[in-house]
Structure 1
Amino acid sequence: MTDPGTGRSAEQLRGWIAAELDRTRARSALLTEAVDDGDLVRQHSPLMSPLVWDLAHVGNQEEIWLVRDVGGREPVRRDIDDLYDAFKQPRRDRPSLPLLPPAQARAYVATVRDKVYDLLDGVVFDSRRLVADGFAFGMVVQHEQQHDETMLATHQLRSGPAVLRSPPPPEPSARVPAEVLVPAGPFVMGTDADPWALDNERPAHRVDLPAYAIDAAPVTNGAYRGFIADGGYDEPRWWSEAGWRHRCAAALSAPMHWRRDGDGWAYQRFGRWDPVRDDEPVVHVCFHEAQAYAAWAGRRLPSEAEWEKAARWDPTTGRSRRYPWGDDEPTATHANLGQRHLWPAPVGAYPAGASPLGVHQLVGDVWEWTATPFRGYPGFAAFPYREYSEVFFGDDYQVLRGGSFGTDRAACRGTFRNWDYPIRRQIFSGFRCARDARPDEARP
């Protein structure tokens, strides 16, 4: 199995979509049923919505795009559209809104889903862009999974006893080199082929890059501890001007959720404190911290194109893969995805997920900051609405790539693009470094 729609009959596609809808809703239920109603309506951070807002919001988007737009059916609750409009309602203000209480929110999303199942039974997957290969259904699945990851980040911020549990990620089973040289030359960035790819992943286009070296794994806690121990947070020369201003204003001194523990550090994971493990990728750092570390280490952050070439380009065939390991969807042996584990896996835990060049853990574990501001590709066309991507284009947002342990496989592929403010670190964000190739390395 490769693409979610291409090559399937209409009945097979309906079955696939229904399974994805069910699987996604089960995750939403897990995240919202793990806490009581008091926790659902509480705002655990001004950066985040109450969990009950996210729950009703995914149902409202599903109603708008599937029940009303694709299905052309009567609204379920048009009166709540403004309450759950992410552009009209800033996160900090959402607790004061007359939101649906938990029981009503659950009833609402269940009613919407019943109508979507009925719609799915009869929909014709014709050439209209919104329904071809089930695109609108895939968009709704990805949207809900993105909010599930947001709700998981909210769980990380909540106080009180731990309510989420998971087995630990696998132990390392491969030695990973420090870096990998990526030879100069063109590759195809973005996609025209993936039927569920979103507008900012399109169109496919050729990018020609000089030779560069990129870390074979994300920067680890152990390496980042060296930056802290060397006074990296106290030395402005490692920071950009904007980064230093933010470091001082926010009093940054370590990754979010870290605290001193004797001679070492501890890290709070979903209500539990554990010692920081040196071979795990560092997580909960902002772009400015990543950029400062890279400068301290004598390196830089990779551009978005450099990240994608390292992740997708196959030097043997010259083609760009859907994932680092190939075109098949990720399994538990490829990557740490889907909330299967609740923290990043140690470096070397997923050798089956390495790219042809030998770059590891490009998918899952931690979102990786890149040096690139979020913009459209050449020939970009907004679809099906400007507010998904285009309104965010510009210098305010930095691109992150690769997904995290909280990202679902439906919302993660070699072309998938995430973006956020460079000061954000409540997200599951880390990074890897790169450098220009030396002249002797760049020769063929």
Structure 2
Amino acid sequence: MTLFLENARIIDPEGDTVTTGNVILDGGQIAAIGAASAPKGAQVIDCGGACLAPGIVDWGVKIGEPGERHKESFRSAGLAAAAGGVTTLIARPDTTPAIDTPEVLEFVTRRAAEASPVRIRHMAALTKGRDGREMTEIGFLLDAGAIAFTDATRVTTDPKVLSRALTYARSLGALVIGHPQEPGLSHGAAATSGKFASLRGIPAVHPMAERIGLDRDLGLIEMTGARYHADQITTARSLPALERAKANGLDVTAGVSIHHLTLNEFDVGDYRTFFKLTPPLRSEDDRLAMIEAVASGLIDVIGSFHTPADEESKRLPFEDAASGAVGLQTLLPAALRLIHAGQLTLPHLFRALALNPARRLGLPQGRMAEGAPADLVLFNPDTPFVLDRFTLASKSKNTPFDGTRMEGKVLATFVAGHQVYGATS
């Protein structure tokens, strides 16, 4: 069906523009932008001046299938994504078992296609079992559809194993995603070291653990010439090393979690476990430095790092509780805080949410241009609401934003020109 979206504020992250006009969707693509009238037989949708932007490409989402379907399934993650304006999920391989063979990858790819209303692409493990001892069959996994390779939050400690994997990945043009942390220093940590963590008696890690981990990875990237993406940069101490790597021509990009852009270490308060994340929340100075790095383009990607956890694993003493938070439905309204604070523009925000991750992963999504996939989100950035975690579509409800006043409501989400979500009120 041909759709005619009229009277929309069109966000173009590629052209860095916001214009008012109409958009035609046909054949799964954006057929025209700025058309004066609807084609014959088209379904007309009045956007009412709401914002129309490329659908979010959320990089680093954990889904519970296989192994932890009670925490999140492909269907529940897909429904949450659609309600949050996320049209493409880039799923992590830290499942049970890990996605480390073509057979497991083919299984999850088939299940995702059957169950999810949005697109799901999978990363595969870099080492077998994510154990850091032996690299996976990267070539076969690429053939089976792996979009990138990572051991997620489990850092490979043996630099020889990692260098071999990077060398092989480079020969195949594969993208490797690292988690910049020095594992010995960060093991068992639940907060960032400082006066606050000391007063609360929480086991903590120094911000230098991230810098040390990043320096090691960048040294190996310089040695091997591999393509590399740092999943989360969260401390100001890491930024000079990242800037040097880019200036020296290394094929390096970096991301940041929306939680590290909008929350800080004090949000932990009286041991609130929904704020326990990996890496832990940082200082306010670090948070502001991350926002500036996104604004300057030094950090390329913003993601939710959606990590579902059930009530039993969160209702524990802070240091024993599971790390992570769900974020598929809160990513956009949380990110809009940066717009309302005047720290980013809408085109720049969607460059980090959609265009940059799609480009880095070689996907055609993330663009507002004729011929691009018709994966779009229609939203009102100013609609206020108070988040009730029990209204989230995710099976797990571990959000740090429960009870928080937020702004920004998704009105409709389109995947390949089909509406997969529409707000009911």
Is TM > 0.5 for Structure 1 vs Structure 2? Answer: no
Which range, TM-score by smaller chain? Answer: under 0.3
Larger radius of gyration: 1
More strand, by proportion: 2
TM-score (norm 1): 0.22
TM-score (norm 2): 0.22
Q: Which one scores higher on RCO, CA 8 angstroms, separation ≥ 6?
A: 2
